[in-house]
Amino acid sequence: MNLRRNQNTLSASDKQAFVSAVLALKQKPSRLHPGDSNFSRYDDFVEVHLNAMMPPMMSPPQPGWAHQSCVFTAWHRVLLLEFEKELQAINASITIPYWDWTQDSSRNSSVWAADFLGGNGTGTDGQVADGPFAGAGGRWQIRIKDDPADPDYLRRQLATDATAKNLPSPDDQSKVQEMTPYDTMPWEDALRASTPAAWQGFRPHLEVDLHNLVHRWVGGNMVDMTSPNDPVFWLHHCNCDRLWAMWQARHPAELPYLPDSGAAAGHNLNDAMVFHVPGTVAPWDGDYRPADVLNHQALGISYDTDPPGELARFKPEAWEDWRTRVRMAAVATQPFRHALPMFVLSDELPALAGTNVKGIPLNPVALKRIPDHKRFKFSKSERADFKSAAVPLPGRGTTASPPIGYICPVCTVSVTDQVLFSCGIAPSGKVLVQCRNGDWATYVCPSP
Ligand code: CU
Ligand code: CU
């Protein structure tokens, strides 16, 4: 097991070993730019991170690979894993330490000492003046930059940004640790409304309230898209990774990651996450899906703050349950005219049949086939009214909130005044409807 420890517990020789391995990686040949001595293996990680941040700036904007989205935790977990593997190829005893910024929250913390990552920057642009990563043209030349005009040396401006005078407090962190679920629709922060209700969940607050604030507090290279140029990036993200693990342990009934579908490509539970543009050199071999990295212990990682015992293994069925539960809840709160097909796909009907929104078994009477639904046929004018007020289902049929009746979405004749609205049609011809008593029912249209 690779034990990741608090940086403030490292011995002088631990720190020395970590720094030496990072410096050695800066000398190793690049995989993304084979044969080009202007780039190193360390710089590959900076480049991957830069690329991950580019898509939102494209025109039209594309979802990024790693940020402001549900995939933030899983994507950075992979980046850390691959980075740690590279350090271990240099010195097998190394793991990435974490920086608990709620404890070590001052500019004089051990993380900024000259024997570790070096200290604050000086001058107008915050050139780092001491420690192993200081200086221009030396061992730590900045090569992958947001702007080619940016300096070649490492920059920091600790606690200078007006919006980031202080690091997150223990209280800020516990608030975020209490938040559930993992994330909420629409999964991407750029698509969220500005109301707090649209920002429910652990991930958006971990990323925005805690993680982003720390980048700004450090300043300099850490506020660039190429932020891994500052080695403190790894200690910061190691801590964010630990917070995800802590959140999972604290909320065993919550799914450790969401969603399994409905987010951008590369962000869903079983999508391969994106680390390079297809057709270009991959930064490492193999793919990772968020589903592959949910349990840090299963990846051979532990934190010195892990609770005793093993973290729960996550069962794929849990997401099935979640889909049914969450989508049915969404259905139940939708005004009729916005109801359905958006939320319940016809091929999901079999999973829904049997219980109503509250999980109560459906009344078998309501579930039975309705044999004589043509009896409730509207008059021509009623039907015209109903149709004009209704929202069409894709394909044939109509769905709406008729006060007096309902038009079968399959054959478009009126079915029964017991039905409030339809949800969708299964390939079998089964139709899911909600009855006035709140139950869900399915029936088979007799004349499709
Ligand atoms: Cu990042
Ligand atoms: Cu970050």
Q: What is the DSSP string of 216-229?
A: HHH-GGGGSTTGGG
What token pair was written down for 346? 């016809």
CA of 52 to the centre of ligand 1 (A): 8
What is the pLDDT, as a whole number, of residue 431? 53
In sequence order, the β-bridge partners of residue 29 are 40
**pLDDT tens across 124-133, in order?**
999 999 999 9
CA of 308 to the centre of ligand 1 (A): 30
Ligand approaching nearest to the C-alpha of 240: 2
CA of 379 to the centre of ligand 1 (A): 61
Could you tell me which residues come within 8 angstroms of residue 444 by beta carbon, excluding any fewer than 6 positions away? Answer: 369, 428, 429, 430, 431
What is the pLDDT, as a whole number, of residue 322? 77
What is the pLDDT, as a whole number, of residue 314? 80
CA of 92 to the centre of ligand 2 (A): 26
Closest CA to 427 of 447, 407, 414, 444: 444
Query: Residue-wise over 80-97: b if at least 16 C-beta within 10 A, else e?
Result: bbbbbebbeebeeebbbb
The full set of domain ranges for the chain reads: 2-314, 336-444
Ligand approaching nearest to the C-alpha of 225: 1
CA of 209 to the centre of ligand 1 (A): 14
- Let me know: does 72 contact 207? Beta carbons within 8 Å: yes
Ligand approaching nearest to the C-alpha of 66: 1
Q: Which residue has the higher pLDDT, 194 or 205?
A: 205
- What count of other Cβ atoms lies within 10 Å of the Cβ of residue 395? 10
Q: Which residue has the higher pLDDT, 56 or 34?
A: 34
CA of 212 to the centre of ligand 1 (A): 9
* Angle between helical axes of 72-90 and 12-25 (0-180°, round to 10): 100
- CATH T-level assignment (fold) for domain 2-314: di-copper center containing domain from catechol oxidase (1.10.1280)
Percent of the chain with pLDDT over 70: 71
pLDDT mean across residues, the chain: 78
Q: State which of 227-231, 252-256, 429-433 shows the largest mean pLDDT.
A: 227-231
What is the pLDDT, as a whole number, of residue 329? 53
Q: Binning pLDDT at 50, 70 and 90, where does residue 196 land?
A: confident
What is the pLDDT, as a whole number, of residue 44? 97
Query: Is the bond into 181 cis (omega within 30 degrees of 0)?
Result: yes
| 48 vs 62: CA distance, rounded Å | 16
Ligand approaching nearest to the C-alpha of 213: 2
Closest CA to 386 of 372, 403, 374: 403
Query: Residue-wise over 112-125: b if at least 16 C-beta within 10 A, else e?
Result: beeebbbbbbeeee
Closest CA to 154 of 139, 138, 137, 134: 134
CA of 252 to the centre of ligand 1 (A): 26
CA of 61 to the centre of ligand 2 (A): 20
Q: Is 104 left (phi over 0), alpha (psi -120 to 50) or beta?
A: beta
Range scoring the smallest mean pLDDT among 158-167, 193-202, 214-223, 285-294 = 193-202
Q: What is the mean pLDDT of residues 158-164?
A: 95
Q: Which residue has the higher pLDDT, 57 or 207?
A: 207
Q: What is the mean pLDDT of residues 142-158?
A: 95
What is the pLDDT, as a whole number, of residue 361? 41
Report pTM.
Answer: 0.75
**pLDDT tens across 327-337, in order?**
555 444 333 22
CA of 173 to the centre of ligand 1 (A): 19
Q: Which residue has the higher pLDDT, 435 or 261?
A: 261
What is the pLDDT, as a whole number, of residue 327? 57
What is the pLDDT, as a whole number, of residue 313? 75
CA of 366 to the centre of ligand 1 (A): 52
**pLDDT tens across 46-100, in order?**
999 999 998 877 766 778 999 999 999 999 999 999 999 999 999 999 999 999 9
**pLDDT tens across 366-408, in order?**
333 333 333 233 344 433 433 333 333 322 223 333 323 333 4
CA of 134 to the centre of ligand 2 (A): 21
What is the pLDDT, as a whole number, of residue 62? 79
Q: What is the mean pLDDT of residues 94-111?
A: 97
Q: Binning pLDDT at 50, 70 and 90, where does residue 295 land?
A: very high
